[in-house]
């Protein structure tokens, strides 16, 4: 069988000058609206690099699978008979029909409903109806396997077999994933509550930008201030006040709003006293030690984006799915912890509904803002400013850039890496 290659084009459009459209302190509005730019994003960002697919806990048993999308391609994340996780293009190698038509399920093998071709869970062609008339070697017609790697259960895939190793791609942002996973005393999470999808009438890039934008909250989400009684409210309602919370650029387009420095008590980020969940605290200390265990309970989970499509929304996991230049879909599910009481995970689910549900405090506001921005940018030939705080950025000994929580460090981080990806040879 011939080695599978990167079938999607990686050649850039020479008519698009990304170094001009993306400058150190501003970007051009057409980046959100031009169909030709969107098409090139599909090739370079979504087919040429790592994309978050899902979590290993979603397919706990052999033969379990879920269907997801990379760019415009339907793919299947499946646990094989050998207990490996593979990501397979959801397209029969015979006549191109979908293999898995249900969004999730469990199977001993994969079968195409068009002509009955049967494949193993790792994509090998096992059988065809009427084999006497079939002259080709079945090993030449497998389903297409994507490059697949995972980090602490977070599964990523790429159409590009020569993409960097995943941990090299994540770089120092592995610490962001570690921080979330280690909210569990046994270092394991599960995504079993189901996904909710919301369609945004806006460009997909608006979502990761907005997810780590600490400047808009007092205006767009003013209702949060009315219901949150903690120093967190102060961190998001006065953009010019000197506060401890930080915006961080972790490199590679990965960015964070770090609210941990404003918290002084365990579980303040959760809006609950430590006495409400004493067993959780006991197990965290037993697993990580007194100092580290309590520090994790004080700092809480990450509020960060992993380029291009994963948002660690504190106790939520979010997938960003592009549709076209003017539309995208946001998927979200609560991040549940293994090794904790059920009532704690129930609280995470209720808070997820309150933050990201259809009638939530946060998501509906952001959806409206994105729609208004997309409308305003149609046909525009204008520049958008990204300069807030660019003269007061700091760089630590590890190369991580940071600024005040309301500074546009995170947005500059996104666009700096986006320009690198889109203008690469």
Kindly state whether residues 225 and 356 are assigned to the same domain. Answer: yes
Do 307 and 346 share a domain, yes or no? yes
CA distance 370 to 200: 7
Per residue, what are the HEC states of 375-386? HHHCCCCCEEEC
Does residue 36 belong to any structural domain of this protein?
Answer: no
For the cut 80, the answer to whether the pLDDT of residue 227 exceeds it is no
Mean of pLDDT over the chain = 91
The verdict on residue 256 lying in a domain is: yes
- Residue 181 DSSP symbol: H
Any domain includes 58: yes
| pLDDT for the residue 244 | 86
258 with 250: CB under 8 angstroms? no
Whether residues 124 and 81 share a domain: the answer is yes
Last residue of a domain, one of 138, 163, 188: 163
Q: How far apart are CA 191 and CA 334, in angstroms?
A: 7
Does residue 235 sit in the same domain as residue 380? yes
Q: Provide φ and ψ at 396, rounded to 5°.
A: -85, -175
Could you tell me if 116 and 220 lie in one domain?
A: no
User: Is 9 a domain residue?
Assistant: no
CATH number of the domain that residue 352 is part of: 3.90.380.10
As for how many domains the chain has, the answer is 2
Look at residue 1 in the predicted model and tell me its pLDDT.
45
pLDDT in tens, 2-18: 455 555 554 556 679 99
Q: Is residue 3 part of a domain?
A: no
Q: What is the pLDDT averaged over residues 123-149?
A: 92
- Give the pLDDT score at 226: 66
- The alpha carbons of the chain give a radius of gyration, in whole angstroms, of 22
Position 215 scores a pLDDT of 85
Report yes or no on 247 lying in a domain.
Answer: yes
pLDDT of residue 2: 45
Domain end position, chosen among 114, 131, 163: 163
CA end-to-end span of the chain, whole Å? 29
Is 294 within 8 Å of 285 (Cβ atoms)? yes
Q: Residue 168, Cβ neighbours under 10 Å: how many? A: 9
User: What CATH number does the domain containing 94 carry?
Assistant: 2.102.10.10
Residues 64 and 154 in one domain: yes
CA angle 209, 215, 218 (to 5 degrees): 120
pLDDT of amino acid 255: 97
Q: Tell me if 75 is assigned to some domain.
A: yes
Q: Can you tell me the distance from the alpha carbon of 336 to that of 35, in angstroms, rounded to the nearest whole number?
A: 38
Residue 159 and residue 193 in one domain:
no
**For residue 64, which of 91, 104, 103, 122 has the smallest C-alpha distance?**
104
Q: Are residues 156 and 189 in the same domain?
A: no
DSSP state of 302: -
Domain end position, chosen among 145, 163, 181: 163
* Candidate from 58-67, 239-248, 260-269, 376-385 with smallest mean pLDDT: 239-248
Q: How far is CA 189 from CA 22, 104, 179, 308, 392, in A?
A: 37, 19, 12, 22, 37
Quote the domain boundaries for residue 180: 172-423
Say if residue 159 is exposed, middle or buried (CB neighbours under 10 Å; 0-12, 13-18, 19+).
buried
If asked whether residues 91 and 149 sit together in one domain, one would say yes
Dig out the tokens for 348 from the structure.
């995470």
Q: What is the pLDDT of residues 170-200, one digit of tens each?
A: 999 999 999 999 999 999 999 999 999 999 9
Whether residues 134 and 231 share a domain: the answer is: no
Q: What does the alpha-carbon distance between residue 199 and residue 226 come to, in Å, rounded to a whole number?
A: 27
Separation CA 415–CA 305 (nearest Å): 13
Q: Is 300:164 a contact under the CB 8 Å cutoff?
A: no
Give the residue-averaged pLDDT of 297-306.
Answer: 97
Residues 202 and 146 in one domain: no
Q: Dihedral of the CA atoms 216, 218, 223, 225 (nearest 10)?
A: 130
Within a domain: residue 152? yes
Span 347-387, pLDDT tens digits: 999 999 988 888 787 888 888 999 999 999 998 678 999 99
- The whole-number average pLDDT for the span 415-420 is 97
Cβ contacts of 268 within 8 Å, gap of 6 or more: 230, 231, 232, 298, 300
- Would you say 210 and 410 are in contact if contact means Cβ atoms under 8 Å apart? no
Stretch 340-349: mean pLDDT, rounded? Answer: 96
Give yes or no for a contact between 59 and 121, defined as CB atoms under 8 angstroms apart.
Answer: no
Asked if 294 and 406 sit in the same domain, the reply is: yes
């Amino acid at each position: 069988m011939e080695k599978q290659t990167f079938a999607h084009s990686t050649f850039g459009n020479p008519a698009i000058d990304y170094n001009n459209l993306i400058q150190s302190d501003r970007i051009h509005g057409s980046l959100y609206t031009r169909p030709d730019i969107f098409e090139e994003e599909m090739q370079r960002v979504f087919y040429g690099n790592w994309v978050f697919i899902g979590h290993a806990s979603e397919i706990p048993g052999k033969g379990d699978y879920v269907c997801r999308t990379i760019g415009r391609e339907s793919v299947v994340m499946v646990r094989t008979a050998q207990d490996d996780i593979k990501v397979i293009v959801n397209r029969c190698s015979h006549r191109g029909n979908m293999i898995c038509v249900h969004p999730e399920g469990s199977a001993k093998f994969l079968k195409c409903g068009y002509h009955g071709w049967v494949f193993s869970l790792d994509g090998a062609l096992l059988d065809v109806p009427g084999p006497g008339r079939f002259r080709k070697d079945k090993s030449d017609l497998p389903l297409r396997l994507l490059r697949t790697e995972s980090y602490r259960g977070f599964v990523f895939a790429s159409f590009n077999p020569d993409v960097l190793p995943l941990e090299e791609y994540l770089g120092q942002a592995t610490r962001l994933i570690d921080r979330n996973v280690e909210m569990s005393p046994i270092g394991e999470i599960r995504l079993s509550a189901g996904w909710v999808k919301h369609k945004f009438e806006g460009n997909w890039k608006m979502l990761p930008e907005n997810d780590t934008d600490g400047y808009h909250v007092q205006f767009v989400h003013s209702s949060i201030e009315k219901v949150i009684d903690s120093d967190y409210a102060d961190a998001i309602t006065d953009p010019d006040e000197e506060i401890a919370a930080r915006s961080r650029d972790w490199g590679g387009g990965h960015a964070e709003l770090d609210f941990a420095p404003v918290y002084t008590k365990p579980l303040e980020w959760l809006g609950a006293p430590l006495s409400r969940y004493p067993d959780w605290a006991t197990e965290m200390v037993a697993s990580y030690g007194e100092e580290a265990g309590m520090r994790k309970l004080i700092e809480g989970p990450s509020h960060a984006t992993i380029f291009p499509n994963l948002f660690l929304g504190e106790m939520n996991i979010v997938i960003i799915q592009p549709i076209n230049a003017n539309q995208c879909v946001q998927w979200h599910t609560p991040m549940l912890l293994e090794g904790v009481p059920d009532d704690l995970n129930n609280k995470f689910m209720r808070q997820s509904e309150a933050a990201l549900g259809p009638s939530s405090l946060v998501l509906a506001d952001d959806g409206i803002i994105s729609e208004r921005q997309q409308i305003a940018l149609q046909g525009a030939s204008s520049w958008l400013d990204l300069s807030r705080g660019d003269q007061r950025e700091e760089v630590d000994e590890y190369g991580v850039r940071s600024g005040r929580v309301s500074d546009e460090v995170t947005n500059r981080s996104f666009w700096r890496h986006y320009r690198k990806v889109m203008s690469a040879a």
